[in-house]
Structure 1
Amino acid sequence: MTAPNILLLMADQWRGDCLSVAGHPVVHTPFLDQLASRGVRFSRAYSASPTCIPARASLHTGMTPASHGRVGYQDYVPWDYDVTLAGELTRAGYQTQAVGKMHVYPERSQLGFQNVILHSPTGIVRMARQQGRDPGLVDDYLPWLRQQLGRDATFFDHGIDSNSYVARPWDKPEHTHPTTFVATQAADFLRRRDPRKPFFLFASFNAPHPPYDPPGWAFEQYLDREMPDPPVGDWVELFARHAKPADPTAWVADVDAATLRRARAGYYGHMTHVDHQIAYLLAELEHHGVRENTYICFISDHGEMMGDHHLYRKGFPYEGSARIPLLFAGPGVPGGSVRDELVELRDIMPTLLECAGVDPPASVEGESFLGRVRGEVGVSGEDSQWRGDLHGEHVMFGESQQWLTDGRSKYVWFSGSGHEQLFDLVADPEETRDLARDPSSADTLAWWRARLVAELDGREEGFTDGRRLIPGRPVRACLAHVTDHRQE
């Protein structure tokens, strides 16, 4: 039997609710909807540490943030992992190719891939220039763009920042857009690959991450769409001290309606553009006759708050930031089903390894969901032997935001102040009502607090003594076992 191929499609900063098949009232994703109809959609998929670097570490290693050591965002920490998804598949005889965003350090680290065609986001290329490094050393897209448009061409001369909510259409020919570049380069791999080997292709789009600069047609189709107001919780003042009204890259701001409408048009426009380019790439699978023997997985590294509760960007424990889309299709996977298991980025590695018939290494902490979606083991529910809850964390504003969810409730604890939040995700999926101060929720709050104590017991930060949570402990975005390794 011919070993199956694997196509892993990754977007950046794509909210879990932003699929039309999931009922989103604005965004239109017909081709991802079609992929969902041919496979399974997970309704409760999360990123446990929802910014680019720690989320991608979980994806590529199959480990929790505490184990791979990245519990927040910190640049310039080497990715010295001996065991990775691509490395295991390469050892198993797969031809392995990455195209697009990696966000690792050093930037040319291959993480076990045999070849990487790198598109570094705007911020990384800018930092390289500021440090006196040739941007071409950290990015393959920029040299390609200059081949297309001339030696002085850049993809950041329109002035939009890589973390800004300011939006405008792409100012160059559409075929030069980074999203199109990733799809085109990925399709070219399908043309030139060794047909005697199974392949693992990782196509990683920077969109819909800012800059919000999709092609004009994609941007304009959302400008006049009716959009619901973002939810604003009764706890919105919690982050008010971090607000920066005059900063378009702010994490916290009450943005005027016109600017927010343009930001959402840019964000959703990126999604529609990615959706169309994925359709092109899937058509190339058909063209080469490999679609039926290819597992296809679509994910994002994290979401985007996009004005919910006056918050922007990512890193927060709330649904807009931490919940992600996850679509999975391939041989033996029944079409059109929706699963409600709690899945996380660490589960992708063992799942794809099982697709390839490769045993997961001992370091992998995620669980394969392949047998479940094929109906070979378990069903959703208390008897399913799947995780009952999920722990997440991220260092933000000088403290660690720790959270737990079982998909029905969510508990949040702030390590600096000791402040707690509790949400009923069934009755209040937009997290507008904080129940932590409600006397009727005292027992539920105490149960979750004890659960977090058990989760954090033994951690190097000293968040607990095993009996209670201890606020005020110093935090760092990378734990000592990672940073000490860098110094060796």
Structure 2
Amino acid sequence: MPQSKLSKSKPNIILVTTDQQRWDALNYNRPGTALRTPFLDAMAAGGLNCTRAYTTCPVCIPARRSLLSGLHPQTHKLYGYQDGLDWEAPISCPETLGRNGYQTQLIGKLHLHPQRKSYGYDHQIRVESPNDRGDTILQNVNDWAKDLKRRGIEHPNHSGIDSNGRAARPWDLEEQYHLTSWLTDRAVEYVTEYRDPTRPFFLHLSHWAPHPPLIPPQAYWDQYANHGMTPAYGDWAPDLPWRPGTADTNAIGPFREDEIEDMIRGYYGLVTHIDHRMNHFMSRAFGYGSPRAHEPTVIIYTSDHGEMLGDHHLYRKSLPYEASAHVPFFICWRNMDLKPGAFDGLVSLEDVTATIFDLCGVAQPEQYNSELEGRSLVPALRGEKCHTRDRLFGECTGVGTHNYMIEGPLKYIWFERTQEEQLFNVLDDPDETHDLSGSHKDLLPNFRKHMADYLKDRSDRHYDPSQCVPCNNQPPKVFWEKHL
């Protein structure tokens, strides 16, 4: 077999990100459901699977800033969804790798402004959405829609299914034209035809799915016809009826049961489609006879945030709950002497860049000395003791503007508008069905102290521990005050 000219000293890096994939939307993380992710499960099982990985701002653009730079929202200063913002990244993973000999390529979603700004990528294939928004200011670049138009498909998504809605149905074109398939095919082309074989490469394959529109190809829609999966409802969730007229994009329910059934069906159909396309990509890129088969290569898989998917009568992202903030995160490899296993330390998206730098022999930026910023997971990959952080801080402005903090098994949540607090043991109660804020008030002072210190210099938050009100296992008024 012909050997690659690539030096063995630096591994190829493949970063695969999905959009809106919750932690348990990987069967390996929560076996026993109807979800099918056999290929991703095998990758996670054969690598380092991070069981406690979180996004520190569970919405697209801030999370992607952290992915690109390894910087926490407290540092890059974006705490919620705000499109159209110019940003001079003080640290850029692809730019840094490029200066250290890597060829860098983005395929898919970046969601940073302006769309053609390189942020250090040598080349980009950009698709922000399955909706063709060529006549808009913020998302007029869509290389997928442009390619399909060349093939005579004038509008690739004319189903009327909203990019933030709960409605679901099968994709109405051939599977090869689906965005997940198309992006994977571009990644195969890059690795097999367009990369420089004399240099290590950094490929960021950035999927839109399973973010709505919930329109998987027909075969994947059919797989989940009788899925039997239902949302998790905490005993603190309200006992309210579905309200006719609830908008399709509304983040706060309750929602219709048949609507939830279809929503879950479409969402998990998209996840399984990603699983199969990852199998296709790895087979084509590194399969039998490939000149790349002997190259050292690291694959990192994660998501920018999760999806509530009806849990606790809530939908979409941005919230502090496990379904929204807890994400899949695993690292696997080829032709490298690393140690598989599970890692249960607190991990965040900031750790992606720090780990990549360490793997590639790049010095860690001085900003990473703060506990908020990225931490390398390479010690864990070597089977050594690895300490990431004692506590993890997250937040998001928007629906239920909040801050959250995780320390040990406990997650503390504070909602700014109502000053309400919740407390969950997320190890014993991963569905967050029981709020401990009323029954374990003795635990709150520690969290209040650290949260007050975290927010002490913030002009956009007004945190006063004396004004905090435990929800005491009752529905947070921040969501349902008008209906309770």
C-alpha distance in structure 1 between counterparts of 2:428 and 2:364, whole Å: 38
In structure 1, the residue matched to 2:286 is 286
In structure 2, the residue matched to 1:254 is 254
In the alignment, residue 309 of structure 2 is paired with which amino acid?
Answer: M
1:306 aligns with 2:309: yes
How many angstroms does 1:241 deviate by? Answer: 13
How many angstroms does 1:407 deviate by? Answer: 5.0
In the alignment, residue 105 of structure 2 is paired with which amino acid?
Answer: Q
C-alpha distance in structure 1 between counterparts of 2:75 and 2:248, whole Å: 34
| SS of match in other structure, 1:236 | coil
C-alpha contact (below 8 Å) 2:69/2:89 kept by paired residues = yes
Gap change, CA 1:168 and 1:459, over 3 Å in 2: same
In structure 2, the residue matched to 1:273 is 273
In structure 2, the residue matched to 1:332 is 337
Deviations 1:167-198 (A, max 9, x none): 11111111111001110101111122110000
How many angstroms does 1:378 deviate by? Answer: 1.1
Number of positions where the alignment pairs a residue of Structure 1 with one of Structure 2? 451
Match of 1:5 among 9, 12, 32: 12
In structure 2, the residue matched to 1:84 is 92
C-alpha distance in structure 2 between counterparts of 1:105 and 1:33, whole Å: 34
In the alignment, residue 316 of structure 1 is paired with which amino acid?
Answer: L
C-alpha distance in structure 1 between counterparts of 2:442 and 2:241, whole Å: 31
In structure 2, the residue matched to 1:446 is 445
In structure 2, the residue matched to 1:147 is 150
Deviations 1:203-254 (A, max 9, x none): 0000000001110000111121222x3122233249x899885211110122
C-alpha contact (below 8 Å) 2:56/2:349 kept by paired residues = yes
In structure 1, the residue matched to 2:34 is 26
| Identity in percent | 35
Deviations 1:63-112 (A, max 9, x none): 01111111111111112214201110011110000000111111112211
In structure 2, the residue matched to 1:196 is 198
In structure 1, the residue matched to 2:160 is 159
How many angstroms does 1:284 deviate by? Answer: 2.4
In structure 2, the residue matched to 1:212 is 214
C-alpha distance in structure 1 between counterparts of 2:251 and 2:201, whole Å: 39
In the alignment, residue 463 of structure 1 is paired with which amino acid?
Answer: H
Larger helix share, 1 or 2: 1
Deviates more, 1:278-287 or 1:319-328: 278-287
C-alpha distance in structure 2 between counterparts of 1:8 and 1:424, whole Å: 31
How many angstroms does 1:39 deviate by? Answer: 0.7
C-alpha contact (below 8 Å) 1:453/1:469 kept by paired residues = no
C-alpha distance in structure 2 between counterparts of 1:243 and 1:424, whole Å: 31
Gap change, CA 1:42 and 1:244, over 3 Å in 2: farther
1:421 aligns with 2:422: yes
In structure 2, the residue matched to 1:323 is 326
In structure 1, the residue matched to 2:351 is 347
C-alpha contact (below 8 Å) 2:322/2:431 kept by paired residues = yes
C-alpha contact (below 8 Å) 1:436/1:442 kept by paired residues = yes
C-alpha distance in structure 2 between counterparts of 1:309 and 1:7, whole Å: 35
In structure 1, the residue matched to 2:396 is 394
In structure 1, the residue matched to 2:226 is 224
How many angstroms does 1:462 deviate by? Answer: 5.0
In the alignment, residue 200 of structure 2 is paired with which amino acid?
Answer: P
Q: TM-score, normalised by structure 2?
A: 0.89
